[in-house]
Amino acid sequence: MDKPDIKSDPQKKLSGADGKKGLQKNLDLLYQGRFSQKEVESKARIWEVLCRNFFQQYISPNDTVLDLGAGYCDFINNIQCREKWAVDLNDDTPSLAHTDVTVQQSSSTNLSFLADESTDVVFTSNFLEHLRTKEEALQTFNEVHRILKTGGLFLILQPNIRHVGFEYWDFFDHHIALTDKSLIEGLLIKGFKIKRVISKFLPFTTKSKIPQHPFLVWLYLKMPLVWRIMGKQSFLVAEK
């Protein structure tokens, strides 16, 4: 049988074997060098506080939760729920997930391992800007809408280029520019209802000078007025 032409399907470049020799292999090296071990440990502590003191409010103990673009699994490892899924193409992700997390190395535009209306909450953080086109973003929204139960939530934490400015492009793997307003438009196209929008929530990256210490992160979450000064990322809650 002839080998398929992966050039005809851009997603196969990301998820197929040939893609691993090219683009994805380079991205794996990029991610491995982006954070030092100390920064990885600090980031994990920050996410423990974020999950316990903010994101957990949207997730019930009996929920099935998918972390889309899970990366280091900082969210899905720390959130409390019945069933946990993580999706990422990074080869390191399976080794970083806790034993109660099922990891799928799959494209965000193909979540066929999950049935229609099988998931209560989908969460994604700092992921959509890595998609190569807005068409891929819409395909991702379509898949998320498909797997969510009626009334299920799509939680999005996303750098907002309107607040970040040119610093948004300091990362080689950022491809599309998004604001809270453009995200809302894309979600509405795919049938979501917008339940909450925080245009300025968290600082741009966990490498920001403050807050870093877990107590300071907890304090930051208690002070929404400070979000308006330091917030560079938006947080959106969309409902199916």
Q: Can you tell me the distance from the alpha carbon of 155 to that of 122, in angstroms, rounded to the nearest whole number?
A: 6
Instruction: Answer yes or no: are the C-beta atoms of 180 and 186 closer than 8 Å.
Output: no
Tell whether the model's pLDDT for residue 192 goes beyond 70. yes
| Amino acid 206: pLDDT | 56
Query: What are the pLDDT digits (tens) for 29-79?
Result: 555 555 566 656 777 899 999 999 999 999 999 999 999 999 999 999 999
DSSP annotation of 185 reads H
Is 14 in a helix, a strand, or coil? helix
Residue 61 DSSP symbol: T
Residue 11 has pLDDT above 60, yes or no: no
> Measured in whole angstroms, how far is the alpha carbon of residue 158 from the centre of its chain?
8
Q: How confident is the model at residue 10 (pLDDT cuts 50, 70, 90)?
A: very low
Sequence-distant (≥ 6) Cβ neighbours of residue 165 within 8 angstroms: none
Residue 114 near residue 156 (C-beta atoms within 8 A): no
Helix (H, G, I), strand (E, B) or coil at 222: coil
The answer on pLDDT for 91 being more than 80 is yes
Query: Which residue type does 20 have?
Result: K
Q: pLDDT band at residue 147, thresholds of 50, 70 and 90?
A: very high
Helix (H, G, I), strand (E, B) or coil at 97: coil
Q: Backbone phi, then psi, for 193, in 5-degree steps?
A: -105, 135
Q: Determine the residue type at 125.
A: S
pTM: 0.84
Q: Report the CATH architecture of 35-239.
A: 3-Layer(aba) Sandwich (3.40)
How high is the pLDDT of residue 166? 83
Say what the pLDDT of residue 227 is. 96
CA distance linking residue 112 with residue 104, whole number of Å: 11
Q: Lowest mean pLDDT of 79-93, 188-202, 207-221, 225-239, name the range.
A: 207-221
pLDDT single digits (tens) 112-142: 999 999 999 999 999 999 899 999 999 999 9
- Looking at residue 41, its pLDDT comes to 74
What's residue 231's pLDDT?
Answer: 94
| DSSP label of 45 | H
pLDDT band with cut points at 50, 70 and 90 for residue 24: low
- pLDDT for 43: 79
pLDDT score of 18 more than 60 = no
Beta-sheet pairing, 119-125 with 64-68: parallel
What pLDDT was estimated at residue 27? 56
Predicted confidence at residue 185, as pLDDT, reads 97
Phi/psi for 136 (5° steps) reads -65, -35
